[in-house]
Structure 1
């Protein structure tokens, strides 16, 4: 009977999970701006709190100033990116001709060294990049906007941020009342504090990492003499919002610019190598050091959730995957029913990577040490 009840509970949990995913998919245009608003509210809350407690400003006034400053910063960044990108696009014909010239030269060298014909290498007589872009421009635009209206998200997110910050005490009281039968007020307070710390740690750490990676990228491009080093360096750092994939996308443009403006192919290879090395440093040293252990998701889970959330919500899903999963881990860690899932999401301890041979070696050394003492 107990076994039957357990199976029933498992089926119910799976059904509930499927329903939640289905609802999240069909209501993504509504949910995504709210989730971004929650994350950004956590990011600007320290500023709001400083205005309220440090400068004794009115709550509404404090929230409006914080959101206005934040919106101006974001808007300025996108304007600067747009201006610089337009300057690059004005020179696109020159870059295109030089890239095509070097590509054709490389194809001829490959023909001479391998005996293959150019149509066997590229699948046609000529590489018409412009025509490909023109024919598929509508599809590209649809891909960018497929996860919801950018304009509506840009308007709604600050509005949601304002109300989340304004009603924060009211919403916390609502959570206390809703969860009173599941856990006591003290435990819920601990969970909320941990959720806030996880998100704050992730967001502040992400901004800091972007600054460091952007500077390292720019120095690398500057050393190679690539055009627009600081633009490409910090653009690639900004694409860290899309984990793992952003660095790949961000390295393509400067590599193409290097191919168009430099005499040797090695400059393009150098760009990709430098960005790859910086990505390795960022993933293994910079991010763990700055972000710390509070966003303690293991690498395998991180990759899986990024793929799954991208299938669910597209590019916004890739950005939201890690903070949402980190929040779920906090909730699972405080749940007796789902504690094992929280354990699975977290970082594996060193003992799970040690081999039996290593354990035997330690045991042998311990025995030898005891014998020497005797």
Structure 2
């Protein structure tokens, strides 16, 4: 009994040390992890270029250009739609003033604080413009340095991928080298499947939200469709956040209850299609994490690494699950993290849909 208790304590201590290390090394690990995941996404393209007799250095450089082009397209698309949204800034400003006035009246009636006293409190609480500018400059500098470092990791991880793979194989015992090679291959393929699947999912969500919001007559429907799709990077929370923002902005523009209810209905229909058709069809069961551990991963990711941790939580957990599935002592943990297997009777609809898609192809 004492031995088993000591073993549990040791495991908890190791777990605590791992999470502490992740927290204190976040400045180093966040760009490295994002660069590694993006390198995994571009790995098939890089391999294809090298098979076409292109030198490795040039192939990696082409992948870098592809990544920068993708980032530029996304920023341009969002920037264009945000510029359209800014055209309505006068309406939003007027509505905001009316809302603030109502809040001030409520505070005066409830807490008996005059408007002058409220302004004094806000003035004392607000930081100075100099400190705000300093924080902004610091944030921009930190972001740019992290982005450049991310690109550097992306390039060198792609270039030295075979070298790193050989190192990991050499690190293991000869009897386990074949198993290590299989683990590396499956982790890479599953991470690619997850990232490609997520990209397809976001694209399809753009289409569904775009159609739904446009039919309803939501102002800046395409912008909000793109926003809701991109926020799919954060499961559960992302779509809800995007839909909530859509409802709030529509309400500020004076939308009636029918329109607001329609936005919520579109969200429900899209989630139904996503959960029952798109996720089983695109992501597959091997990269599925159950809802409980999805939430746990998101919470831990935010606690340890903030917003980047939320974005990285799911792909890293999916990779960890695959490692657990292929190492005997860790298999129970892989089972615990994974989704419950759907009985055959419940998966008939998905199977039929797959057959229809294959037939059309």
- Per the TM superposition, whether the score is higher than 0.5 is yes
Report which structure shows greater RCO (CA 8 Å, sep ≥6): 2
8 A Cα contact 2:84 2:220, kept in partner: no
Are positions 1:203 and 2:203 aligned together? no
Shift in CA distance, 235/171, structure 1 to aligned 2, threshold 3 Å:
same
Secondary structure of the equivalent of 2:201? helix
Matched pairs, number: 332
Are positions 1:218 and 2:210 aligned together? yes
Deviates more, 1:248-257 or 1:291-300: 248-257
Are positions 1:38 and 2:32 aligned together? no
Unaligned runs of at least 5 residues, structure 1? 108-116, 355-374
CA distance in 1 between partners of 2:220 and 2:65 (Å): 30
Deviates more, 1:254-263 or 1:95-104: 95-104
Are positions 1:191 and 2:183 aligned together? yes
Shift in CA distance, 18/125, structure 1 to aligned 2, threshold 3 Å:
same
Partner residue in 1 for 2:79 = 82
Q: CA deviation at 1:344?
A: 0.9
CA distance in 2 between partners of 1:14 and 1:318 (Å): 23
Partner residue in 2 for 1:172 = 165
Partner residue in 2 for 1:365 = none
Deviates more, 1:23-32 or 1:283-292: 283-292
Written as runs of structure 1 = structure 2, the 5 A alignment for 1:143-162 is: 149-162=142-155
8 A Cα contact 1:301 1:345, kept in partner: yes
Shift in CA distance, 73/251, structure 1 to aligned 2, threshold 3 Å:
same
CA distance in 1 between partners of 2:160 and 2:110 (Å): 59
CA distance in 1 between partners of 2:260 and 2:238 (Å): 18
Larger radius of gyration: 1
Partner residue in 2 for 1:314 = 306
8 A Cα contact 2:42 2:63, kept in partner: yes
Deviations 1:127-150 (A, max 9, x none): x9xx89x958989x979x98x932
8 A Cα contact 1:198 1:295, kept in partner: yes
2:239 to 241, 247, 263: 247
Partner residue in 1 for 2:156 = 163
Partner residue in 1 for 2:354 = none
8 A Cα contact 2:206 2:229, kept in partner: yes
Q: CA deviation at 1:33?
A: 0.7
Deviations 1:266-295 (A, max 9, x none): 312322331233133223321221111120
CA distance in 1 between partners of 2:255 and 2:164 (Å): 61
Shift in CA distance, 263/330, structure 1 to aligned 2, threshold 3 Å:
closer
CA distance in 1 between partners of 2:100 and 2:247 (Å): 13
Secondary structure of the equivalent of 2:328? coil
8 A Cα contact 1:96 1:260, kept in partner: no
Q: CA deviation at 1:169?
A: 0.9
1:21 to 13, 19, 22: 19
Partner residue in 1 for 2:88 = 91
CA distance in 1 between partners of 2:327 and 2:153 (Å): 29
CA distance in 2 between partners of 1:333 and 1:304 (Å): 19
CA distance in 1 between partners of 2:255 and 2:7 (Å): 66
Secondary structure of the equivalent of 2:287? coil
Q: CA deviation at 1:122?
A: 9.5
CA distance in 2 between partners of 1:342 and 1:10 (Å): 19
Q: CA deviation at 1:263?
A: 5.0
CA distance in 1 between partners of 2:218 and 2:10 (Å): 57
CA distance in 1 between partners of 2:229 and 2:110 (Å): 32
Deviates more, 1:73-82 or 1:255-264: 255-264
Secondary structure of the equivalent of 1:294? helix
Q: TM-score under structure 1 normalisation?
A: 0.78
Partner residue in 2 for 1:358 = none
8 A Cα contact 1:52 1:58, kept in partner: yes
Secondary structure of the equivalent of 1:37? helix
CA distance in 2 between partners of 1:344 and 1:32 (Å): 26
Unaligned runs of at least 5 residues, structure 2? 347-361
